[in-house]
Amino acid sequence: DKDRIRTKDKSDHATIENVLDSRIKNKLHKLFERGVLAEINGCISTGKEANVYYARSKNEDEIAIKIYRTSILTFRNREKYIRGEYRFDHVHSLHNPRKMVKIWAEKEFSNLKRLEQGGVRAPRPHLCGGHMLLMEFLGSDGWAAPKLKDAVLTDSKSRTLYRECIEIMWKMYNKCRLVHADLSEYNMLYHDGSIVVIDVSQAVDRDHCNAMEFLRNDCSNVTAFFKKHNVGVMPLQALFDFITDPTVNENNMDEYLDMWMQEADQEKDPQQREIEEAVFKQAYIPQRLTQVINVERDINLAKSGKDLIYKTLIGLKADLSKPAETPEILANKHKADG
Ligand code: ADP
Ligand code: MG
Protein backbone atom coordinates (compact mmCIF):
# COMPACT_ATOMS: atom_id res chain seq x y z
CA ASP A 1 0.00 0.00 0.00
CA LYS A 2 2.77 2.38 0.96
CA ASP A 3 4.32 1.70 -2.40
CA ARG A 4 1.16 2.42 -4.27
CA ILE A 5 0.77 5.83 -2.70
CA ARG A 6 4.31 6.65 -3.51
CA THR A 7 3.94 5.63 -7.13
CA LYS A 8 0.87 7.78 -7.41
CA ASP A 9 2.77 10.71 -5.96
CA LYS A 10 5.54 10.19 -8.44
CA SER A 11 3.27 10.19 -11.44
CA ASP A 12 1.67 13.38 -10.11
CA HIS A 13 5.04 15.04 -9.95
CA ALA A 14 5.79 13.83 -13.41
CA THR A 15 3.06 16.08 -14.83
CA ILE A 16 4.69 18.65 -17.02
CA GLU A 17 6.39 20.91 -14.51
CA ASN A 18 3.45 20.43 -12.18
CA VAL A 19 1.25 22.57 -14.37
CA LEU A 20 -0.49 20.53 -17.03
CA ASP A 21 -2.14 17.82 -14.97
CA SER A 22 -4.95 15.65 -16.31
CA ARG A 23 -7.72 17.89 -14.99
CA ILE A 24 -6.34 20.89 -16.78
CA LYS A 25 -5.93 18.85 -19.95
CA ASN A 26 -9.60 17.87 -19.74
CA LYS A 27 -10.62 21.47 -19.21
CA LEU A 28 -8.53 22.62 -22.15
CA HIS A 29 -10.01 19.84 -24.27
CA LYS A 30 -13.53 21.11 -23.52
CA LEU A 31 -12.55 24.64 -24.42
CA PHE A 32 -11.27 23.38 -27.78
CA GLU A 33 -14.57 21.59 -28.35
CA ARG A 34 -16.51 24.79 -27.60
CA GLY A 35 -14.29 26.84 -29.92
CA VAL A 36 -13.15 29.09 -27.09
CA LEU A 37 -9.70 27.84 -28.01
CA ALA A 38 -8.50 26.88 -31.49
CA GLU A 39 -4.76 26.63 -30.89
CA ILE A 40 -2.20 27.05 -28.15
CA ASN A 41 0.95 28.46 -29.64
CA GLY A 42 3.64 28.35 -27.06
CA CYS A 43 4.67 29.63 -23.72
CA ILE A 44 4.97 33.34 -22.89
CA SER A 45 6.37 32.88 -19.44
CA THR A 46 7.28 30.22 -16.90
CA GLY A 47 7.27 31.71 -13.45
CA LYS A 48 7.55 30.44 -9.90
CA GLU A 49 3.81 30.36 -9.41
CA ALA A 50 2.34 30.07 -12.89
CA ASN A 51 2.98 29.54 -16.58
CA VAL A 52 1.41 31.79 -19.19
CA TYR A 53 0.59 30.47 -22.67
CA TYR A 54 -0.36 32.18 -25.90
CA ALA A 55 -3.53 30.94 -27.61
CA ARG A 56 -6.08 31.86 -30.23
CA SER A 57 -9.82 31.36 -30.28
CA LYS A 58 -11.82 30.07 -33.23
CA ASN A 59 -12.46 33.64 -34.36
CA GLU A 60 -8.79 34.57 -34.11
CA ASP A 61 -8.92 36.45 -30.81
CA GLU A 62 -5.59 36.36 -29.01
CA ILE A 63 -5.77 34.90 -25.54
CA ALA A 64 -3.36 34.53 -22.65
CA ILE A 65 -3.84 31.40 -20.55
CA LYS A 66 -2.41 31.54 -17.06
CA ILE A 67 -2.05 28.16 -15.39
CA TYR A 68 -1.11 28.21 -11.71
CA ARG A 69 1.17 25.67 -10.14
CA THR A 70 -0.24 23.31 -7.60
CA SER A 71 3.05 22.58 -5.87
CA ILE A 72 2.79 23.13 -2.15
CA LEU A 73 6.05 25.00 -1.82
CA THR A 74 4.65 28.19 -3.28
CA PHE A 75 1.73 28.41 -0.85
CA ARG A 76 3.55 29.38 2.25
CA ASN A 77 3.21 33.08 1.62
CA ARG A 78 -0.23 33.09 0.14
CA GLU A 79 -2.35 32.68 3.21
CA LYS A 80 -1.86 36.23 4.41
CA TYR A 81 -3.29 37.61 1.17
CA ILE A 82 -6.46 35.54 1.52
CA ARG A 83 -7.06 35.65 5.25
CA GLY A 84 -8.14 38.98 6.61
CA GLU A 85 -10.71 40.04 4.07
CA TYR A 86 -14.42 39.45 3.87
CA ARG A 87 -14.42 38.02 0.32
CA PHE A 88 -12.68 34.86 1.56
CA ASP A 89 -14.29 34.45 4.95
CA HIS A 90 -15.90 31.21 3.75
CA VAL A 91 -12.60 29.62 2.79
CA HIS A 92 -11.45 26.95 5.20
CA SER A 93 -9.35 24.63 3.08
CA LEU A 94 -6.15 26.61 2.73
CA HIS A 95 -4.10 23.48 3.28
CA ASN A 96 -5.46 21.59 0.30
CA PRO A 97 -3.17 22.73 -2.53
CA ARG A 98 -5.62 21.98 -5.28
CA LYS A 99 -8.43 23.97 -3.67
CA MET A 100 -6.02 26.68 -2.66
CA VAL A 101 -4.80 27.23 -6.18
CA LYS A 102 -8.39 27.31 -7.44
CA ILE A 103 -9.12 30.12 -4.99
CA TRP A 104 -6.00 31.86 -6.19
CA ALA A 105 -7.22 31.75 -9.81
CA GLU A 106 -10.69 32.91 -8.81
CA LYS A 107 -9.19 35.74 -6.82
CA GLU A 108 -7.19 36.94 -9.82
CA PHE A 109 -10.29 36.69 -12.01
CA SER A 110 -12.39 38.71 -9.58
CA ASN A 111 -9.64 41.31 -9.16
CA LEU A 112 -9.29 41.70 -12.93
CA LYS A 113 -13.05 42.28 -13.08
CA ARG A 114 -12.77 44.99 -10.45
CA LEU A 115 -9.97 46.67 -12.39
CA GLU A 116 -12.10 46.61 -15.53
CA GLN A 117 -15.07 48.10 -13.70
CA GLY A 118 -12.93 50.80 -12.11
CA GLY A 119 -11.42 51.81 -15.44
CA VAL A 120 -7.87 50.61 -14.81
CA ARG A 121 -6.11 49.16 -17.83
CA ALA A 122 -5.54 45.44 -17.29
CA PRO A 123 -6.15 42.26 -19.32
CA ARG A 124 -9.89 41.69 -19.71
CA PRO A 125 -10.69 38.41 -17.94
CA HIS A 126 -12.53 35.81 -20.06
CA LEU A 127 -13.09 32.86 -17.75
CA CYS A 128 -11.51 30.87 -15.01
CA GLY A 129 -11.83 27.17 -14.31
CA GLY A 130 -9.88 25.11 -11.84
CA HIS A 131 -6.41 26.56 -11.59
CA MET A 132 -6.50 28.21 -14.97
CA LEU A 133 -7.42 31.71 -16.12
CA LEU A 134 -8.13 32.89 -19.67
CA MET A 135 -7.70 36.58 -20.35
CA GLU A 136 -7.07 39.11 -23.08
CA PHE A 137 -3.57 38.84 -24.55
CA LEU A 138 -1.62 42.09 -24.51
CA GLY A 139 0.84 42.46 -27.31
CA SER A 140 1.02 42.72 -31.04
CA ASP A 141 1.46 40.12 -33.80
CA GLY A 142 1.73 37.41 -31.20
CA TRP A 143 4.54 39.17 -29.33
CA ALA A 144 3.71 39.87 -25.70
CA ALA A 145 4.07 43.48 -24.58
CA PRO A 146 7.30 44.02 -22.61
CA LYS A 147 7.32 44.35 -18.86
CA LEU A 148 7.85 47.94 -17.75
CA LYS A 149 11.31 46.92 -16.53
CA ASP A 150 12.29 45.93 -20.09
CA ALA A 151 10.71 48.88 -21.89
CA VAL A 152 13.10 51.37 -23.45
CA LEU A 153 12.08 54.77 -22.09
CA THR A 154 13.32 58.32 -22.53
CA ASP A 155 13.49 60.48 -19.40
CA SER A 156 10.49 62.45 -20.54
CA LYS A 157 8.45 59.31 -21.23
CA SER A 158 9.41 58.01 -17.79
CA ARG A 159 8.07 61.19 -16.24
CA THR A 160 4.74 60.78 -18.04
CA LEU A 161 4.55 57.13 -17.02
CA TYR A 162 5.30 57.95 -13.38
CA ARG A 163 2.31 60.25 -13.29
CA GLU A 164 0.20 57.65 -15.08
CA CYS A 165 1.34 55.00 -12.64
CA ILE A 166 0.43 56.93 -9.50
CA GLU A 167 -2.96 57.82 -10.99
CA ILE A 168 -3.49 54.10 -11.63
CA MET A 169 -2.64 53.42 -7.99
CA TRP A 170 -5.15 56.07 -6.92
CA LYS A 171 -7.83 54.55 -9.13
CA MET A 172 -7.12 51.02 -7.92
CA TYR A 173 -7.53 52.15 -4.32
CA ASN A 174 -10.42 54.55 -4.74
CA LYS A 175 -12.41 53.16 -7.66
CA CYS A 176 -11.65 49.43 -7.42
CA ARG A 177 -11.02 49.36 -3.66
CA LEU A 178 -7.93 47.26 -4.27
CA VAL A 179 -4.32 47.30 -3.23
CA HIS A 180 -2.16 45.43 -5.74
CA ALA A 181 0.28 44.13 -3.13
CA ASP A 182 2.94 43.12 -5.67
CA LEU A 183 3.14 46.22 -7.81
CA SER A 184 6.48 46.81 -9.48
CA GLU A 185 8.08 47.12 -12.92
CA TYR A 186 7.74 43.32 -13.15
CA ASN A 187 3.96 43.36 -12.96
CA MET A 188 3.20 46.25 -15.26
CA LEU A 189 3.36 45.86 -19.01
CA TYR A 190 4.21 48.65 -21.40
CA HIS A 191 1.61 48.44 -24.14
CA ASP A 192 0.72 51.05 -26.79
CA GLY A 193 2.64 53.69 -24.86
CA SER A 194 0.73 53.10 -21.63
CA ILE A 195 0.96 51.05 -18.47
CA VAL A 196 -1.16 47.92 -18.11
CA VAL A 197 -1.44 46.28 -14.70
CA ILE A 198 -1.10 42.48 -14.52
CA ASP A 199 -0.64 39.70 -11.95
CA VAL A 200 -3.33 40.56 -9.43
CA SER A 201 -3.88 37.18 -7.78
CA GLN A 202 -2.49 38.54 -4.53
CA ALA A 203 -4.22 41.92 -4.70
CA VAL A 204 -6.39 42.56 -1.63
CA ASP A 205 -9.44 44.60 -0.79
CA ARG A 206 -8.44 47.90 0.77
CA ASP A 207 -10.10 46.82 4.03
CA HIS A 208 -7.81 43.79 4.30
CA CYS A 209 -5.98 43.95 7.62
CA ASN A 210 -2.55 44.29 5.95
CA ALA A 211 -3.66 46.52 3.09
CA MET A 212 -1.79 49.59 4.35
CA GLU A 213 1.48 47.71 4.64
CA PHE A 214 1.04 46.28 1.15
CA LEU A 215 0.23 49.72 -0.23
CA ARG A 216 3.26 51.29 1.41
CA ASN A 217 5.38 48.57 -0.16
CA ASP A 218 3.85 49.16 -3.60
CA CYS A 219 4.55 52.89 -3.23
CA SER A 220 8.11 52.10 -2.34
CA ASN A 221 8.69 49.78 -5.35
CA VAL A 222 7.20 52.22 -7.81
CA THR A 223 9.15 55.13 -6.38
CA ALA A 224 12.44 53.23 -6.56
CA PHE A 225 11.85 52.24 -10.18
CA PHE A 226 11.04 55.73 -11.44
CA LYS A 227 13.81 57.29 -9.39
CA LYS A 228 16.23 55.02 -11.25
CA HIS A 229 14.82 56.51 -14.45
CA ASN A 230 15.67 60.05 -13.33
CA VAL A 231 12.11 61.06 -12.52
CA GLY A 232 11.69 63.71 -9.81
CA VAL A 233 9.38 61.60 -7.66
CA MET A 234 7.14 62.60 -4.77
CA PRO A 235 8.34 61.78 -1.27
CA LEU A 236 7.17 58.30 -0.30
CA GLN A 237 4.71 59.46 2.32
CA ALA A 238 3.28 62.11 0.00
CA LEU A 239 2.52 59.39 -2.54
CA PHE A 240 0.88 57.22 0.12
CA ASP A 241 -1.17 60.22 1.32
CA PHE A 242 -2.22 61.09 -2.22
CA ILE A 243 -3.63 57.60 -2.73
CA THR A 244 -5.40 57.34 0.62
CA ASP A 245 -6.53 60.96 1.17
CA PRO A 246 -10.36 60.88 1.01
CA THR A 247 -10.45 64.56 0.00
CA VAL A 248 -8.59 63.93 -3.27
CA ASN A 249 -11.01 63.42 -6.15
CA GLU A 250 -10.98 63.50 -9.94
CA ASN A 251 -11.65 67.25 -9.94
CA ASN A 252 -8.77 68.36 -7.75
CA MET A 253 -6.31 65.56 -8.59
CA ASP A 254 -4.53 67.39 -11.41
CA GLU A 255 -3.97 70.51 -9.35
CA TYR A 256 -2.85 68.38 -6.41
CA LEU A 257 -0.30 66.44 -8.45
CA ASP A 258 0.95 69.55 -10.28
CA MET A 259 1.78 71.04 -6.90
CA TRP A 260 3.73 67.96 -5.87
CA MET A 261 5.58 67.73 -9.16
CA GLN A 262 6.71 71.34 -8.74
CA GLU A 263 7.92 70.51 -5.23
CA ALA A 264 9.63 67.37 -6.46
CA ASP A 265 11.54 69.37 -9.06
CA GLN A 266 13.00 71.61 -6.37
CA GLU A 267 13.92 68.63 -4.27
CA LYS A 268 15.05 69.53 -0.79
CA ASP A 269 17.94 67.96 1.05
CA PRO A 270 18.09 64.37 -0.32
CA GLN A 271 19.64 63.09 2.90
CA GLN A 272 16.76 64.53 4.90
CA ARG A 273 14.37 62.84 2.55
CA GLU A 274 16.07 59.49 2.98
CA ILE A 275 15.68 59.78 6.73
CA GLU A 276 12.00 60.67 6.40
CA GLU A 277 11.42 57.70 4.11
CA ALA A 278 13.15 55.34 6.48
CA VAL A 279 10.93 56.57 9.33
CA PHE A 280 7.82 56.21 7.20
CA LYS A 281 8.70 52.65 6.19
CA GLN A 282 8.91 51.66 9.86
CA ALA A 283 5.81 53.47 11.08
CA TYR A 284 2.71 51.69 12.28
CA ILE A 285 -0.24 52.83 10.15
CA PRO A 286 -3.69 52.40 11.65
CA GLN A 287 -6.54 52.17 9.16
CA ARG A 288 -9.23 53.57 11.41
CA LEU A 289 -9.46 55.76 14.45
CA THR A 290 -10.42 52.71 16.52
CA GLN A 291 -7.01 51.23 15.79
CA VAL A 292 -5.09 54.26 17.00
CA ILE A 293 -3.23 53.08 20.03
CA ASN A 294 -3.39 56.19 22.15
CA VAL A 295 -5.76 58.76 20.77
CA GLU A 296 -5.25 61.35 23.49
CA ARG A 297 -1.49 61.24 23.24
CA ASP A 298 -1.71 61.62 19.47
CA ILE A 299 -4.06 64.59 19.68
CA ASN A 300 -1.66 66.31 22.03
CA LEU A 301 1.24 65.56 19.71
CA ALA A 302 -0.74 66.92 16.76
CA LYS A 303 -1.62 70.11 18.65
CA SER A 304 2.04 70.69 19.35
CA GLY A 305 2.66 70.55 15.62
CA LYS A 306 3.85 66.96 15.21
CA ASP A 307 3.02 65.32 11.89
CA LEU A 308 0.92 62.19 12.33
CA ILE A 309 1.31 59.54 9.69
CA TYR A 310 -2.32 58.48 9.60
CA LYS A 311 -4.12 61.82 9.70
CA THR A 312 -4.62 62.01 5.94
CA LEU A 313 -5.68 58.41 5.68
CA ILE A 314 -8.52 58.83 8.16
CA GLY A 315 -9.47 62.18 6.68
CA LEU A 316 -8.55 64.57 9.46
CA LYS A 317 -6.87 67.95 9.36
CA ALA A 318 -3.26 68.07 10.48
CA ASP A 319 -4.20 69.18 14.02
CA LEU A 320 -6.88 66.43 14.13
CA SER A 321 -9.41 69.16 14.91
CA LYS A 322 -12.08 68.23 12.37
CA PRO A 323 -12.66 66.32 9.16
CA ALA A 324 -10.74 67.76 6.23
CA GLU A 325 -12.63 68.85 3.13
CA THR A 326 -9.75 69.87 0.89
CA PRO A 327 -6.37 68.19 0.50
CA GLU A 328 -3.94 69.94 2.82
CA ILE A 329 -1.47 70.95 0.13
CA LEU A 330 -4.28 72.64 -1.83
CA ALA A 331 -5.84 74.27 1.24
CA ASN A 332 -2.47 75.85 2.02
CA LYS A 333 -2.06 77.02 -1.55
CA HIS A 334 -5.53 78.51 -1.69
CA LYS A 335 -4.86 80.33 1.58
CA ALA A 336 -1.61 81.72 0.17
CA ASP A 337 -3.36 82.77 -3.05
CA GLY A 338 -5.91 84.65 -0.94
P1 ADP B 1 3.70 35.35 -12.38
O2 ADP B 1 4.55 36.57 -12.14
O3 ADP B 1 2.96 34.93 -11.14
O4 ADP B 1 4.44 34.24 -13.02
P5 ADP B 1 2.21 37.05 -14.26
O6 ADP B 1 0.75 37.24 -14.24
O7 ADP B 1 3.06 38.19 -13.79
O8 ADP B 1 2.53 35.73 -13.41
O9 ADP B 1 2.63 36.64 -15.72
C10 ADP B 1 3.96 36.28 -16.05
C11 ADP B 1 4.39 36.95 -17.34
O12 ADP B 1 3.55 36.55 -18.42
C13 ADP B 1 4.26 38.47 -17.30
O14 ADP B 1 5.40 39.06 -16.79
C15 ADP B 1 4.06 38.81 -18.76
O16 ADP B 1 5.32 38.89 -19.41
C17 ADP B 1 3.30 37.63 -19.29
N18 ADP B 1 1.85 37.89 -19.31
C19 ADP B 1 0.97 37.69 -18.31
N20 ADP B 1 -0.28 38.01 -18.66
C21 ADP B 1 -0.21 38.47 -19.93
C22 ADP B 1 -1.17 38.96 -20.88
N23 ADP B 1 -2.47 39.07 -20.57
N24 ADP B 1 -0.74 39.33 -22.11
C25 ADP B 1 0.58 39.23 -22.42
N26 ADP B 1 1.52 38.77 -21.58
C27 ADP B 1 1.16 38.39 -20.35
MG1 MG C 1 4.36 38.55 -12.22
pLDDT above 50 for 6: no
- pLDDT digits over 106-149, tens only? 999 999 999 999 999 999 999 998 889 999 999 998 899 999 99
Residue 17, Ramachandran bin (φ over 0: left; ψ between -120 and 50: alpha; else beta): left
pLDDT at 2: 39
Instruction: Identify whether the C-beta of residue 190 lies closer than 8 Å to the C-beta of residue 145.
Output: yes
Q: How many residues does the chain have?
A: 338
Q: Residues with catalytic annotation?
A: 182, 199
Distance (angstroms) between ligand 1 centre and the Cα of 161 equals: 20
| Residue 50 in contact with ligand 1 by CB distance below 6 A | yes
- For residues 137 and 125, give the distance between their C-alpha atoms in angstroms, rounded to a whole number: 10
CA distance 60 to 43: 18
In 3D space, the residue among 214, 200, 181, 207 whose CA is nearest the CA of residue 106 turns out to be: 200
Question: Can you tell me the distance from the alpha carbon of 62 to that of 88, in angstroms, rounded to the nearest whole number?
Answer: 31
Residue 199 Ramachandran class (φ > 0 left, ψ -120 to 50 alpha, else beta)? left
Give the distance (Å) from ligand 2 centre to CA of residue 242: 26
Ligand 1 nearest-atom number relative to CA 136: 23
Query: Does 122 sit in the ligand 1 pocket, CB within 6 Å?
Result: no
- The more confidently predicted of residues 218 and 326 is 218
Tens of pLDDT, residue by residue over 157-216, are 999 999 999 999 999 999 999 999 999 999 999 999 999 999 999 999 999 989 999 999
Task: Please report the pLDDT score of residue 289 as a whole number.
Answer: 62
From 46, 104, 183, 199, the mutation candidate for ligand 1 (largest count of ligand atoms within 8 A of CB) is 199
Mean pLDDT of all residues belonging to the chain: 85
> What pTM did the predictor assign?
0.86
Q: How far is the CA of 45 from the centre of ligand 1 (A)?
A: 7
Distance 274 CA to ligand 2 centre (A): 28
The pLDDT of residue 293: 65
The answer on pLDDT for 93 being more than 70 is no
Cβ contacts of 231 within 8 Å, gap of 6 or more: 155, 158, 159, 162
pLDDT band at 294 (very low <50, low <70, confident <90, very high): confident
* Distance from C-alpha of 262 to C-alpha of 267, rounded to nearest angstrom: 9
Quick one: which ligand is closest to 138's CA? 1
Strand partners, 68: 50
- Cα angle 8, 11, 14 (rounded to 5 degrees) comes to 155
CB distance 108 to ligand 1 below 6 Å: no
Decide: helix, strand or coil at residue 61: coil
**Beta carbon of 144 within 6 Å of any ligand 1 atom:** yes
Residues 202-253 pLDDT 10s: 999 999 989 999 999 999 999 999 999 999 999 999 999 999 999 999 999 9
pLDDT of residue 25: 85
Q: Taking a C-beta distance cutoff of 8 angstroms, is the pair 233, 257 a contact? A: no
Residue nearest (by alpha carbon) to ligand 1 atom 10: 45
